Amino acid sequence: MRILVVDDDRRLCSIIKRGLLEEAYAVDVAYDGEEGVYLATINPYDLIILDIMMPKKDGIEVCQELRSNRINTAILMLTAKDTVEDRVKGLDAGADDYLVKPFAFNELLARIRALLRREGQIKTPEIQSGDLVLNTRTREVWRGERSIELTTKEYVILEYFMRHPNVVVTRTMIEEHAWDYDFDSMSNLVDVYIRRLRRKIDDNEKASTIQTIRGAGYKLKVL
């Protein structure tokens, strides 16, 4: 999952980014509204964390502009204001949820998980594709009765495949989902991680679960 954080408080952004990276999210950061609009327009994000009080464009303006441009990415607004009027203004601008500063990081994570479940229409923490089961809360992966140990990046890529079973996924789609804006698209990291996933998931199976679609990308085959 790839998240954009838009907030002019650089210390808070650093804390949020570090915490989200530890939770296996890819994270980009913008420090004003104009930069936030730019990044949200050129990159596909799963969720945007958006502060209201910012220079150049405030969060309300950013939210309205994104919605007017038909960017429907889930938006979680952050603000130090706690009046009903402020919450209503943010939600009416197109935000999906609202969190008041200061907040506990665990609550931020819970709201992120809830919004992502809502976007994917998945109401439980478990995603199942055939005999593969992935728990988005504990980050445990099982194939049948066998537990599979994955690195953070391997987990992120597998989760993306499992949310798109039997769908061709290009290398660019994987890069945009699993890495941040600074990723070197000329590297072969995607292919390296796919090979690692195959070794761990298939474990002597005759047919690979992640299939190569020549000239297109990869597909998680679910029978």
**Each residue of 6-65: pLDDT tens digit?**
999 999 999 999 999 888 788 999 999 999 999 999 888 989 999 998 989 999 999 999
More confidently predicted of 95 and 88: 95
Could you identify the residue written with the tokens 């907040």? 103
Mean pLDDT to the nearest integer, 174-203: 81
Helix (H) or strand (E) holding 141, with range, is strand 141-143
Burial classification of residue 88, based on how many CB atoms lie within 10 Å of its CB (0-12 exposed, 13-18 middle, 19 or more buried):
exposed
Domain total of the chain: 2
Q: Kindly state whether residues 94 and 152 are assigned to the same domain.
A: no
Closest CA relative to residue 62, chosen from 41, 33, 91: 33
CATH of the domain at 113: 3.40.50.2300
- Give yes or no for residue 93 having a pLDDT over 90: no
Angle of helix 10-22 relative to helix 105-120, nearest 10 degrees, comes to 60
Q: Kindly state whether residues 38 and 54 are assigned to the same domain.
A: yes
Residue 84 is predicted with a pLDDT of 75
Range of the domain at 80: 2-120
Last residue of one domain, picked from the residues 120, 150, 176: 120
Q: Kindly state whether residues 158 and 73 are assigned to the same domain.
A: no
* Whole-number average pLDDT of the chain: 86
Q: Tell me which range, 81-85, 110-114, 177-181, is most confidently predicted by mean pLDDT.
A: 110-114
Q: Kindly state whether residues 143 and 112 are assigned to the same domain.
A: no
CATH of the domain at 215: 1.10.10.10
**Each residue of 103-142: pLDDT tens digit?**
999 999 999 988 887 765 455 677 888 888 988 878 889 9
- Give yes or no for residue 159 having a pLDDT over 60: yes
Q: What percent of the chain has a predicted confidence (pLDDT) above 90? A: 36
Last residue of one domain, picked from the residues 105, 120, 135: 120
Q: Kindly state whether residues 69 and 41 are assigned to the same domain.
A: yes
Beta strand 74-79 with 47-51 is parallel
Last residue of one domain, picked from the residues 120, 153, 180: 120
Residue 208 is predicted with a pLDDT of 83
Q: Cα separation of 2 and 24, whole Å?
A: 9
Judged by DSSP in three states, 64 sits in helix
